[in-house]
Amino acid sequence: MDTVSQTETEWFRVWDRVWAETGLGEYDAVLCVGCLEDRLGRQLTPADFSRADVNQPSLIMSDRMLDRLGYKKLEYPVDDANASRPEG
């Protein structure tokens, strides 16, 4: 059974040809990365994702989502001036 992705961490858009491989209609489901991969029988690659804005890397994306898009995990930059320092 598919897990419906209702979180912001795995919103994405694949090319229509990739979605067609699932056997689902265009508006039949919203799938998480894992369930889409299960239906395809393979791991997603960066080439599977359309050029939609939703596929741009962001700090709220899951590590798995970033990995499939071909990115490393994003981290907040550290501001040395505001970093906590030991007292003394």
Residue 25 has pLDDT above 60, yes or no: yes
Residue 13 has pLDDT above 70, yes or no: yes
Picking from 36, 29, 40, 38, the residue whose alpha carbon sits closest to that of residue 6 is: 29
Domain positions in the chain: 8-74
Q: What is the pLDDT of residues 50-79, one digit of tens each?
A: 999 999 998 889 999 999 999 987 666 666
Q: What is the pLDDT of residues 31-49, one digit of tens each?
A: 989 999 999 999 999 999 9
Confidence of residue 83 (pLDDT cuts 50, 70, 90): low
Q: What is the pTM of this model?
A: 0.75
DSSP annotation string for 12-76: --B-HHHHHTTT--TTS--B-HHHHHHHHTS---GGGB-S-GGGS--TTS-HHHHHHHT-PPP-P
CB 48 within 8 A of CB 15: yes
Residue 35 to residue 4: CA distance in whole angstroms: 8
